[in-house]
Amino acid sequence: MPETVRFNEFAREPAALRAAQLDAVCKVMDSGWYVLGQNVCNFEAEWSIRCQSTGCVGVASGLDALEIGLRVLGIGLGDEVITTPLTAYATVLAIQRVGATPVFADIDPSTACICPDSVRHCISAQTKAVIVVHLYGRAADMAALSEICTSQGIELVEDCAQAHLSQYAGQPVGTFGRYAAWSFYPTKNLGAIGDAGAITSNDSDFLSSAQQFRNYGQSDRYHHVVAGQNSRLDELHAAILSVRLSYLESWTNSRRNIAARYWDGINNPKIRLLLRPADPTQHVNHLFVVCVAYREHFMQHLAKHHIQSLIHYPVPAHKQEAIGFHKISPQGLQFSLSHSQTCVSLPIHPHMTGSEIQRVITACNSW
Ligand SMILES: *Cc1c(COP(=O)(O)O)cnc(C)c1O
């Protein structure tokens, strides 16, 4: 029986990486300083440089990064925030948690990213922000989305949880809006060994407010200027992230090479591939998603060939039980709905072997 092609293979990471991480962990333990210390400062500096942002604030998760940013902007009850229903629910949960109303725009079916035209139709007098998700690692249409937000005086927020190092027209994602939210959940392109996240921004006032919010709303020790929260990035995770960051570029190249082989090799007319970007730097291939009409049958076929597959996402946000009060585009959400009913994610982790990649292509084409 062939070995299963799995969705992630952390066990295949290089021995040198494991050794460097263990060394980093020992150093943190020996330092006796576990929260908001030198490792967090170092990682924040490194990450903001990689993102070409003025600054970075490490937080506890991607969800917290999104939520804290909205709080800093004063977005809350009565305000509307436009986003896509085709995302990790955390994007929407951040809007709900600050008391604002999620408003769903439809996607562009060729990329599954939010459709700028649909965003235009969702704008009302209450609209305060648009949260753009660079879904699956692909930079969304930032030219159109930036233009909409600037001309309407609406805040632009970027959910970069799947898009580490992705670029739009040569400019890094995360630098188009007021702030970017990053997740370092273990399976993201850059992951910690637990939950972690960050906010980057080019607005230094915004960054200092975010710094207060993540630490009980303190300006100085025991002086509280806002009702903040506890969402600090741990020293252990920051130290691990700094080590793993040195691998990110080569992991991203691996993902791009696998995606190129899929785009070249999968030619089954029953499988629709998402649009291949003309410029490969626009995509960091966090996920490789295809669309099929008979999804269950296709996934069973892959399983028979010992290939894992997943669905991102089977239920669009506006159909979730937890959604509560929300609005949707006056033109409806037909593309989001049909995408959620047909999408399948193929394995694309950076440690796949050449023969595993070929097995996925062969299995797709033999369906
Ligand atoms: C993972 C993810 C999040 C949430 O990040 P956490 O660190 O798990 O809180 C938000 N948005 C998107 C698009 C994600 O993929």
Would you say 36 and 215 are in contact if contact means Cβ atoms under 8 Å apart? yes
**Rounded distance from Cα 265 to ligand 1 centre (Å):** 30
Q: Residue 306, by phi and psi: left (phi above 0), alpha (psi -120 to 50) or beta?
A: left
* Cβ 231 under 6 angstroms from ligand 1: no
**Rounded distance from Cα 291 to ligand 1 centre (Å):** 22
- Residue 171 amino acid letter: Q
* Cβ 83 under 6 angstroms from ligand 1: no
* Cβ 61 under 6 angstroms from ligand 1: yes
Q: What would the two tokens of residue 225 be?
A: 């200027």
* Cβ 288 under 6 angstroms from ligand 1: no
pLDDT of residue 123: 98
* Cβ 91 under 6 angstroms from ligand 1: yes
pLDDT of residue 2: 86
What distance in Å separates the CA atoms of residue 4 and residue 304, rounded to the nearest whole number? 10
Closest CA to ligand 1's atom 5:
62
Would you say 263 and 273 are in contact if contact means Cβ atoms under 8 Å apart? yes
pLDDT in tens, 228-260: 999 999 999 999 999 999 999 999 999 999 999
User: Shortest CA distance to 83 belongs to which of 93, 72, 73?
Assistant: 93
* Cβ 90 under 6 angstroms from ligand 1: yes
Would you say 102 and 96 are in contact if contact means Cβ atoms under 8 Å apart? yes
**Rounded distance from Cα 188 to ligand 1 centre (Å):** 9
**Residue indicated by tokens 């927020």:** 157
pLDDT of residue 1: 78
Judge if pTM exceeds 0.75. yes
* Cβ 133 under 6 angstroms from ligand 1: yes
User: Shortest CA distance to 86 belongs to which of 259, 341, 272?
Assistant: 341
Mean pLDDT (10-residue bins), the chain, 367 residues: 94 98 98 98 98 98 98 98 98 98 98 98 98 98 98 98 98 98 98 98 98 96 94 98 98 98 98 97 98 98 98 98 98 98 98 98 98
What distance in Å separates the CA atoms of residue 167 and residue 309, rounded to the nearest whole number? 27
pLDDT in tens, 329-357: 999 999 999 999 999 999 999 999 999 99
To test the pocket of ligand 1, the residue of 166, 183, 286, 345 to mutate (highest count of ligand atoms within 8 Å of its CB) is 183
